[in-house]
Amino acid sequence: MQIKTDLPLLQLMGKKLLPLVQGGMGVGISASRLAGTVASLGGMGTISSVDLRRHHPDLMDNTRGKVSKDAIDVANLEALHREVSEAKQKAGGQGAVAVNIMKAVSQYGSYVRQACESGADAVVVGAGLPMDLPEITRDHPNVALIPILSDVRGVSLVLRKWLRKQRVPDAIVIENPRYAAGHLGAPDQASLSKPEYVFNRVLEGCRQLFKDLGLESMRIPLIAAGGVNSPRQLRSLLASGADAVQLGTAFAVTHEGDAHDNFKHVLLNAEPQDIVTFMSVAGLPARAVRTPWLDAYLHKEEKLQSVATERACREGFDCLAHCGLRDGVARHGQFCIDQRLAYALEGDVERGLFFRSAESLPLGKAMRSVRELMEYMLSNAPAVRPIA
C-alpha cells in the first residue's frame, strides 16, 4: 500500500511521486530490493549501476579468474538488466525506478543505454557533468534525465549545453557535499564548506537561473540531497524551493537495503568522530566510516602517494575512466575502490570501505523498514537538528 502525505508531490514525467527520493549507492548497496520497495510505496527508488554482477552468483562465477574486460562489462550489463526488471516487478507499477550512473565510470554510455532499454523510469548521473546525456538517450524520450550537481555554476553549464540540444533536465539533484556520503561534488576537502553549496543559496540561484533562461514556467524539479535527517528539515527545504529531498545512508540501513547486515551495523553505530573525509581514487573527496582498513590506509596514504605509478587494473576491468591507483596519479587515492566497496557490500568490517553521510540518522541506531523510514520523514515529527 502506498504511503499518503499532506505534502505536495514530486511531478516527474507525468508521474506523481512522494517528495522523498532514495539515492543510488554502490557497489550494490542500492539494488532491486531497496529500489523496488521504495517505488512500491510511491517514491523514487534508485539502483546504483556499478558492478551489479556481485549480486548474481552465476555472473560472478563466469567472471572469476583470467577473463577479459569485455566479459566483465557484459556481465555487469546483464546484471543491470536483471536488477531493473526485478525492481520494476517489485514496484508493481507504483512510484518510479531510477538508475544512478557515475559519469566517471568507463562504461558510462553503455550503462545509460542499458538502463533505458531495460525499462528504467529515470537515469540519474553524478560524478561529472553529463553534457552528452541527451544524445545517448535520444531514442528513449520517456526516460527522465536527472543530473546530480552541487552549485548554480554546474547547473548553468549543464542547462546551457542541453538547451542547445533542445532538452532540459526532468529534475536536478542538488547535493550538498558538506553532508553527503561517498564521492562528493567538490574539487577538494577544503572546498566542502564553501557557501555556494548551501541549500537555500543554490535553490534560490537555480530558480533565478531558470527565470533568466526563460524556463521558469517549466518548473524543473529540484531535489535536495545531503544530510537531511528529520521531517522538519524536509518541510523546510520544500518551503525554500525544493520539490523533494533525497536520502542515501538512511535507506541503506533499512531491512530492505541490499547490503549485508554487518554493513548496516557499521553505518548505524558510527559516531561523528568515526566519519572522515579523504581523497578517493576518482580524484574527488569522499566521506566514509573510519574502519580498520581505512584507518590503516590513511596512516600510509602519504607514502603510497609518493611511490604512485601506473599499473594494471587489479580487478581486470577499468571501473573508473580515471583511477588514481591504476593511472599512477599521486594526488589521488591509492587503493582499488571496487574491491573495497565489494568487501563492504559483503559486510567485511576489516577490509571494507563504508561510505556514510556526516549527519545522524533519522531513526537513530535502530534498523527499521523502508516504510517506517518514509512514514517518519513525511510526518510532522519534531526536528533532530538544523543543517545549512
Question: Residues 197, 310: one domain?
Answer: no
Q: pLDDT digits over 211-262, tens only?
A: 999 998 888 999 999 999 999 999 999 999 999 999 999 999 999 999 999 9
pLDDT the model gives residue 382: 64
User: In terms of Cα–Cα distance, which of 233, 232, 242, 150 is closest to 195?
Assistant: 150
pLDDT of 330-382, one tens digit each? 999 999 999 999 999 999 999 999 999 999 999 999 999 999 999 999 998 76
CB 52 within 8 A of CB 76: yes
* pLDDT at residue 313 in the model: 87
User: Please, are residues 369 and 361 in contact by the beta-carbon 8 Å criterion?
Assistant: no
The model's pTM: 0.94
Residue 160: per-residue pLDDT: 96
Identify whether the C-beta of residue 207 lies closer than 8 Å to the C-beta of residue 220. no
Q: Are residues 254 and 143 in the same domain?
A: yes
Residue 309 inside a domain? The answer is yes
Length of the chain: 388
- The rounded distance, in Å, linking the Cα atoms of 275 and 272 is 6
| pLDDT given for residue 144 in this prediction | 98
Q: What is the pLDDT of residues 129-158, one digit of tens each?
A: 999 999 999 999 999 999 999 999 999 999
Residue 162 has pLDDT above 60, yes or no: yes
CA angle 340, 281, 169 (to 5 degrees): 100
The verdict on 283 and 169 lying in the same domain is: no
Contact between residue 181 and residue 287 where contact means Cβ atoms under 8 Å apart: yes
Question: Beta 244-247 vs 144-149: how paired, if at all?
Answer: unpaired
Grid coordinates given for 33: 530490493
276 - beta bridge partners?
A: 288
The CA–CA distances, whole Å, from 190 to 178, 285, 382 equal 10, 9, 33
Do both 63 and 158 map to the same domain? Answer: yes
189 versus 384: the higher-pLDDT residue is: 189
CATH number of the domain enclosing 152: 3.20.20.70
Quick one: 312 exposed, middle or buried, by C-beta within 10 A (0-12, 13-18, 19+)? Answer: exposed
From the list 162, 154, 253, the residue with the least C-alpha distance to 206 is 154
Could you please report the per-residue DSSP string of 15-55? EEE-SEEEPP-TTTTS-HHHHHHHHHTTSEEEEE-TTGGGG
pLDDT at 383: 52
Distance CA 105, CA 180 (A): 20
139 and 169 inside one domain: yes
Assess whether 87 and 195 both reside in one domain: yes
Closest CA to 272 of 333, 335, 229, 225: 229
Task: Clarify whether residues 146 and 293 are in a common domain.
Answer: no
Task: Indicate whether 350 belongs to any domain.
Answer: no
Q: Are 72 and 157 contained in the same domain?
A: yes
Q: What is the pLDDT of residue 388?
A: 42
Q: Which residues contact 239 (CB under 8 A, 6 or more apart)?
A: none
228 and 340 assigned to the same domain: no
* Residues 285 and 257 grouped into a single domain: no
Domain assignment present for residue 356? The answer is no
Same-domain check for residues 44 and 193: yes
Note whether residue 382 is domain-resident. Answer: no
Percent over 70 (pLDDT), the chain: 98
Domain region containing 188: 10-265+362-377
Residue 98 lies in a domain: yes
Whether 1 is in a domain gets the answer no
Domains identified in the chain, total number: 2
Q: Is the pLDDT of residue 270 over 90?
A: yes
The larger pLDDT score, comparing residue 159 to residue 218, is at 159
Task: Give the span between the Cα atoms of 236 and 233, in whole angstroms.
Answer: 5
- Residue 117, pLDDT > 80, answer yes
Three-class SS state of 143? coil
Whole-angstrom distance, CA of residue 117 vs CA of residue 114: 5
Domain co-membership, 183 together with 312: no
Beta strand spans in 92-248 (E): 96-102, 122-126, 144-149, 172-175, 182-183, 222-225, 244-247
353 in a structural domain = no
Residue 385 lies in a domain: no
